[in-house]
């Protein structure tokens, strides 16, 4: 998907009040941010956070650090990522690291890591080829969790449920388990959403088979079955936290 850019791979731009955070800047993150209407301005970013170092989640991390710090001329902002993103074949390059005010190595099941008005917590470690954690963002009582890549295992959903997210963003790469890979399948995602029971579930990071299976139709099924708001994200999709969470609460 990334190599062919069938779907954009730039990650997520989050705004909580005046705090702005980029999560998982894959290839195209900077171009996508600037071409968004209205544009997302990297110089206003407070932090860049990686769930893990794989290229589809980190390809533009150095580009974004340069943009956030005006090419290193304004030392500011934070980069938070698992330790192996900084050592052991670093994806955050040593020169770019010096441009930011703060570097934070994320450990599993830890936090809070403050970012402006946001408190960030990590999930337990995911089963994935590199160090990977989920991310829980808390802002003024609003809880948004991001469940990135990894293989499903018992106990993962309970770990997320402890944070009682209002919104759960979940990466689902595969439609079915036709190969044993380190990623969620659609049934895994449904099972986890049913257990965590967020008010709003957003699915993203689809592989080819998932796209062919029509994520919107699948999300609609989840919505009907579980009675919560379920959304299949698409390129440029904007989730308005206040209206979506409020609307879901009113149902």
Q: Which residues bind Zn ion (CB under 5 A)?
A: 54, 56, 149
By beta-carbon proximity to Zn ion, the closer residue of 166 and 205 is 205
151, 55, 212, 14: CA torsion to nearest 10: 90
By beta-carbon proximity to Zn ion, the closer residue of 120 and 147 is 147
By beta-carbon proximity to Zn ion, the closer residue of 58 and 69 is 58
Tokens of 137: 């963002």
Q: What span, in angstroms and rounded, lies between the C-alpha atoms of 134 and 243?
A: 24
By beta-carbon proximity to Zn ion, the closer residue of 54 and 163 is 54
Q: Least CB distance from residue 53 to Zn ion, whole Å?
A: 8
Q: Least CB distance from residue 165 to Zn ion, whole Å?
A: 20
User: Are 49 and 19 within 8 A, CB to CB?
Assistant: no
By beta-carbon proximity to Zn ion, the closer residue of 149 and 222 is 149
Q: Least CB distance from residue 17 to Zn ion, whole Å?
A: 28
User: Are 225 and 25 within 8 A, CB to CB?
Assistant: no
Q: Whose CA is closest to 237, among 206, 207, 208? A: 206
Burial 52-82 (b: 16+ CB within 10 A, else e): bbbebbbbbbbbbbbbbbeeeeeeebbbbbb
Q: What span, in angstroms and rounded, lies between the C-alpha atoms of 251 and 34?
A: 36
Tokens of 65: 């650090």
Q: Least CB distance from residue 194 to Zn ion, whole Å?
A: 23
Instruction: Determine how many CB atoms are found less than 10 A away from the CB of residue 175.
Output: 19
Q: Least CB distance from residue 140 to Zn ion, whole Å?
A: 30
């Amino acid at each position: 998907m990334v190599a062919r850019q069938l779907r954009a791979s730039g990650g997520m731009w989050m705004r909580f009040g005046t705090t702005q955070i980029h999560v998982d800047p894959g290839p195209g993150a900077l171009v996508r941010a600037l071409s968004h209407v209205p544009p997302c301005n990297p110089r206003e970013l407070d932090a860049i956070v990686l769930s893990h170092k794989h290229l589809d989640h980190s390809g533009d991390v150095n580009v974004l650090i340069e943009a956030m710090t005006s090419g290193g001329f304004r030392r500011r902002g934070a980069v938070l990522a698992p330790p192996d993103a900084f050592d052991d074949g670093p994806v955050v390059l040593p020169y770019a690291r010096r441009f930011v005010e703060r570097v934070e190595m994320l450990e599993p099941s830890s936090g809070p890591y403050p970012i402006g008005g946001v408190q960030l917590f990590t999930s337990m470690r995911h089963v994935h080829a590199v160090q990977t954690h989920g991310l829980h963002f808390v802002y003024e009582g609003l809880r948004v969790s991001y469940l990135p890549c990894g293989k499903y295992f018992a106990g993962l959903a309970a770990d997320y449920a402890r944070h009682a997210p209002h919104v759960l963003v979940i990466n689902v790469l595969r439609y079915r388990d036709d190969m044993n890979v380190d990623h969620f399948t659609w049934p895994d995602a449904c099972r986890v959403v049913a257990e965590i029971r967020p008010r709003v579930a957003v699915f993203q990071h689809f592989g080819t088979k998932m796209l062919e299976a029509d994520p919107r139709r699948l999300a609609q099924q989840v919505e009907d079955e579980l009675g919560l708001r379920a959304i299949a994200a698409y390129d440029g999709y904007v989730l308005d936290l206040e209206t979506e969470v409020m609307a879901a609460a009113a149902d």
